[in-house]
Structure 1
Amino acid sequence: MTRTKAVNVRGTEIGSGQPIICIPLISQSVDQLVKECKQAVSKKPDMIEWRADFFSELANLESVIVAARMIRGEVGEIPLLFTIRSIHEGGQPVERSEEEIVNLINAICRTGYIDLVDYEIRNDQQRIEGVLATAKQAGVYVVLSYHNFEKTPESSILIDKLRQAEQLGADMAKIAVMPQSNADVLQLLQAAQTTQEELSIPLIAISMGGLGAITRVAGWMFGSAVTFAIGNEESAPGQIPIADLRAMITQLQNASN
């Protein structure tokens, strides 16, 4: 029995048991982002993520705000997740200090253009608390995340990361790890299943790469609230084109009813 309380973002229920399909945007310029966003919206995702670490003008706050405004204009009422993934957790190289990134995140939260923000749980607790406070004041939901592109840590570590996110005050918790075997994939799913029975916040649990593709299709059966699909290009290994992913999820849902 799950204790999870769904999060309602612009009418989209995250954590209700219905898997949310999210398309990431990874373009480098505003013009490319708008084009990519139009294409993504046409595929009717449940959520869109802007991976701002791919954005070439990330060092310019005004440019980031302009891009966020343009994206919001395209996505309408589709929930928008803002992410600056660090190079430590599989992101693009970003020539900004962590303090500068936090200041940028806080500024973007205050614009009203984004609905959710991803911040990595590896960061200093004081910075995490600052992002949480600013986001809450701005009405933005916070996803505290952990990514490991090299391996799948022990189940106890994965569970601890998810618990820690809730303890710190996150609205959602995310783990994404790289499997080296089928056993690693099962370990990730077991951690999700165990944790979703005790957490009150929605969780996202992904095993990456080809081995972990099953978690993108069936993760919702083990408590994972969101899955990430390819719009035009993948932002992480193992992502599946959205039309294929939606069809497979629907078939699983029909079979399990």
Structure 2
Amino acid sequence: MSLFPTPDARPAVVVPLAGADADAVLAHAREVAASGADVAEWRLDTWGAHDGEGALEMLPALRSALGSLPVLATYRSLAEGGPGGLDDAGYTALLLALVAARVEGVDVELSRPDAVATAITTAARDAGTVVVGSSHDFAGTPSTDRLGAILDSLAARDADVLKVAVTASDGGDVARLLAAAHTARRHGRPVLPIAMGPAGVLTRIAGECWGAPATFGLVGTGSAPGQVPVPELRDALDAIHDALTAADGPVSAVTA
């Protein structure tokens, strides 16, 4: 199964799935499944069982609650703006357990050592799991050169999807991010640029214009500034898709 299954060039709608305990996670999963989302991002950093054994025990019930939705397993660490405090060994063990359980995708943070990324990516290749290499900056938007270096590093780690999220304060920040993302398309992999905050909402709704494979929406509580509720996000994606189709079609994208 593709991680981002969409019938056309529209970005897949990914909804972060959070909860402090199993009951909360499953309740949210049922809401996400009914929302029109395409993918559920399981935010393992938000609940108590931060080990592979606990995740594997939870996974069958989660699959049942989500129905056919693919799962992107994510553990967002403190270094990347999340609440997760697992060390490298614990992080690796958690994601390897989920890869072995055949989740459709795993998020591998750039802030983790190369050896961690290599171990997870190698296992993911064998399992057919998509690797989303990610970098997050909740403080601002780096320079164009720095953004390019981040995306190059994600590609060098052999990630299937190159995701970079920054915090935008104005249109200049957004333009800088999109310029770097455009250049990174030379790697031949899907690039997912996200500008967090109100100034960056364009990057959440107009990704089809530059071939982004996905966007992140919300059901209930969001996981990052600027996320759009799924109904409004769907409306915006549909409107842009219709406009692009009327204007001779969307930008071609590399799929994942």
Q: TM-score, normalised by structure 2?
A: 0.90
Would you say the 8 A contact 1:162–1:173 is kept in 2?
A: yes
Q: Which residue of 1 aligns with 2:205?
A: 217
Q: Which residue of 2 aligns with 1:102?
A: 92
Q: Which residue of 1 aligns with 2:78?
A: 87
| Paired residue type of 2:201 | A
1:136 paired residue among 122, 125, 145: 125
Structure 2 gaps of 5+ residues are: 247-256
Distance 2:84 2:193 in 1: 24
Distance 1:107 1:77 in 2: 21
Written as runs of structure 1 = structure 2, the 5 A alignment for 1:193-212 is 193-196=182-185, 198-212=186-200
1:236 paired residue among 211, 220, 224: 224
Q: Which residue of 2 aligns with 1:4?
A: none
Distance 1:120 1:131 in 2: 11
Aligned residues: 245
Written as runs of structure 1 = structure 2, the 5 A alignment for 1:9-158 is 9=2, 12=5, 17-58=9-50, 60-94=51-85, 96-112=86-102, 114-158=103-147
Would you say the 8 A contact 1:109–1:134 is kept in 2?
A: yes
Would you say the 8 A contact 2:3–2:105 is kept in 1?
A: no
Would you say the 8 A contact 2:154–2:162 is kept in 1?
A: yes
Is 2:166 the partner of 1:174? no
| Identity across matched positions, percent | 29
| Paired residue type of 1:76 | G
- The superposition leaves residues 9-47 of structure 1 with CA deviations (integer Å, 9 ceiling, x where unpaired) of 168159x73211111101111111111000100012111
Would you say the 8 A contact 1:23–1:45 is kept in 2?
A: yes
Would you say the 8 A contact 1:192–1:224 is kept in 2?
A: no
Q: How far did 1:92 drift?
A: 0.8
Would you say the 8 A contact 1:206–1:219 is kept in 2?
A: no
Structure 1 gaps of 5+ residues are: 1-7
Distance 1:122 1:31 in 2: 31
Runs of 4+ in structure 1 deviating by more than 3 angstroms, as ranges, are none
1:253 paired residue among 225, 241, 247: 241
Q: How far did 1:102 drift?
A: 0.4
Please tell me the root mean square deviation across aligned C-alpha atoms, in Å.
1.7
- Cα 1:245/1:107, change in 2 over 3 Å: same
- Cα 1:139/1:104, change in 2 over 3 Å: same
| Paired residue type of 1:244 | E
Q: TM-score, normalised by structure 1?
A: 0.90
Distance 2:140 2:216 in 1: 19
Q: Which residue of 2 aligns with 1:5?
A: none
Secondary structure, in 3 states, of the residue corresponding to 1:244?
helix
2:151 paired residue among 151, 156, 162: 162
Distance 2:3 2:92 in 1: 25
